[in-house]
Chains A and B, each alone.
Chain A
């Protein structure tokens, strides 16, 4: 509470006092902005400026090597994105791949997390081993898988034949369905442990009381899991799915090495197309348009997921 003397002085000389307050507010603002400025500058230089350049580039037909031949084409590059069947195919293949791979990773990861969540020496050891696949560089894992899947001397066909599951080698990368199995299988093998570890951490952090209460009320294991554990785990699931979706949409090296987009264009992710247009032909305008469309698509999906994540976090709170 202000002293009477101060109050009087405030009343007696309102203008200078208001000025001082304004000065103080302004000083705070200056201090605040100057503290935020470095981060803003980095954001501007590293993210916003390139994004604006990308948008600008998408309205031109030009190659990086001959920028002086740049020609304004308006929305022509965008029209090309939607008209070109190979680009449309790239988007479709990417969406399918991400949906199937992340879906499987979530299911298997959840199963693994449930099995490994109880603390024991065996589970600790298993969790450590679980880390190995996603510690391997993706490109290296693709090279190894390519060798394992070789129908002439790869281990997979060899052992499948030895134990009598198949009569003759499967040509994994030669037909679209088996190439898809290989491509998704590699991603699932590599990234399921990541999902499992997030969910395991979630499970281990959950309060036991609701589960014990459910047991007292006569709920069986499945009912407890479905009605009690899973709702509590939703924020962790949302985080795992969000992180995996973003990474899965960026998949490039593994598929480039494993299938090269083939057979035909059956596994050609949009990133492979982007690489060819942008980094082999250096057609920056065309590549920028594909990139912008991809960015919009990703933003829509991620913003939806963030909403789900926000809702579930509130539920938890």
Chain B
């Protein structure tokens, strides 16, 4: 080969390589079909058993083996961040939790171009309009540079054109939604003796509380420490769960339930925030409707306590199963309201690794894994679906009703009104500071006002440290 020919060939090869790296999905389409795709996933937090159930179907349909690797929550975040920080192409698809997203927009492949291109959707219809809008916009739609912004308004359905027009991108497709729901002992509420006793004591009928005022009264009614029964459990232990409880109340009290607004106003420390936290602390300190040790509880303890039959009500992110020695029945309701509803929610999405060598097929896999048909099958293993149509099927399914009662009905309704988190790259820091305030108020070591006031300078400093344009208070 002559030198000139060699140089031409080299130039052409490197040119192709360069353009191949920067071209949009149109070029990626030509990528060869891989034999395997690697999927990094959570464990029980996002119902990995449900995904395992449909892996053989994926292999049969696409002729591609989907390697599933699961990690428990704490390890998963480090794994996802470490893989992306090192620009590793190993995992083609990654599961991403909502609070991580603000830090990851530069590391995940925007899916909007793929969604717009029919050629990439030939095997599965992504049918975006079927996704629950609130969950979709909260978890998957981000502004690439100003990742702290939420998509404006409350769109009635997912609209790719509107998303692009506002300068936002879609970074994944939702696969599992968690939202705070109220579980209660149906047998206790249906008991005629309980109903009569409640009527005699309060002069009104006993029913599952729909408002926070009623919640406090009903919790008080069922609190009988001598019989080892308490009204409700909460989760004010020092952790994310305390913040979740509080932000639910904050939203119900009419404030911005994200805790920190998109303009970096500290909504959590507003008068409504103080009132909401005072209500929460009173349930524990004054009304004493919670079991001993509640101020160290996480959602795990809530599950264990309710399942052991120690409480009449409990709020959690998943369905509950009473222990075999507890004779009773569980049903679900939406977490109560005040000015409005505001249950905390968070949704797991499946995203394409920006450094994957199989982006096109990773995208196809995501659309298939999150499609209605796949989600219906995954219901068998307790997936919390993200599509309206799947909830409709779940509610009509008698086998699911036998296993989970009205859980899916309540889950679907709650997702429609759920409130997500502030979009901060250091959300865990901010959440921790607020959780400490909630915990201090719950234990009575500080007043709600003092606890929230103590968190204000900490959160403000954290926001500054993360580079957000926060004003001095």
Contacts and interface: CB of A to CB of B under 8 A. Distances in A.
Interface of A: 61, 63-67, 80, 84-86, 150-153, 168-169, 171-176, 179, 259-265, 276-277, 279-283, 286
Contacts of B304: 150
B237 A264 contact: no
B432 A276 contact: yes
Interface in B280-338: 291-296, 298, 301, 304-305, 308, 310
Contact of B84 (A65, A80, A279): A65
Contact of B295 (A67, A152, A171, A276): A171
A263 B295 contact: yes
Given A65-B107, A80-B465, A152-B305, A264 B310 contact: no
B351 interface: no
B296 A64 contact: no
Contacts of B85: 64-65, 67, 282
Given A150-B301, A150-B304, A168-B292, 12 more contacts: A64-B81, A65-B81, A152-B293, A172-B293, A260-B296, A260-B298, A262-B436, A263-B443, A264-B440, A277-B429, A281-B428, A283-B426
11 contacts: A65-B107, A66-B106, A150-B293, A152-B228, A153-B308, A175-B443, A259-B238, A260-B237, A262-B238, A262-B296, A263-B440
B445 A264 contact: yes
B88 interface: no
B81 A282 contact: yes
B439 interface: yes
Interface residues of B, number: 42
Label chain B's interface by main secondary structure.
helix
Contact of B292 (A86, A171, A264, A283): A171
Given A263-B238, A263-B439, A280-B77, A65 B293 contact: no
A121 B445 CA distance: 52
B309 to A, nearest CB: 11
A245 to B, nearest CB: 27
A169 B292 contact: yes
A174 B237 CA distance: 8
B458 interface: yes
Nearest to A80: B465
Nearest to B305: A152
Nearest to B291: A152
Contacts of A174: 293-296, 443
B103 interface: yes
Contacts of A85: 458
A257 B390 CA distance: 37
B104 interface: yes
Nearest to B241: A260
Interface centre among A66, A174, A265 (most CB of B within 10 A): A174
Contacts of A281: 103, 425-426, 428-429, 466
Contacts of A279: 77-78
Contacts of B77: 279-280
Given A171-B292, A262-B296, A264-B238, A152 B436 contact: no
Given A65-B106, A80-B465, A262-B237, A173 B293 contact: yes
Contacts of B433: 86
A171 to B, nearest CB: 5
B103 A282 contact: yes
Contacts of B445: 176, 263-264
Contact of B436 (A179, A265, A277, A286): A265
A173 to B, nearest CB: 4
B213 interface: no
A84 B308 CA distance: 42
Contacts of A276: 428-429, 432
B296 A259 contact: yes
Nearest to A84: B461
B239 interface: yes
Contacts of B106: 65-66
Contacts of B308: 152-153
B280 to A, nearest CB: 15
Contact of B310 (A152, A262, A263): A152
Contacts of B426: 281, 283
The 9 closest A-B pairs by CB, nearest first: A262-B238, A173-B296, A151-B292, A151-B293, A174-B295, A280-B428, A64-B85, A281-B426, A171-B293
A66 B84 CA distance: 10
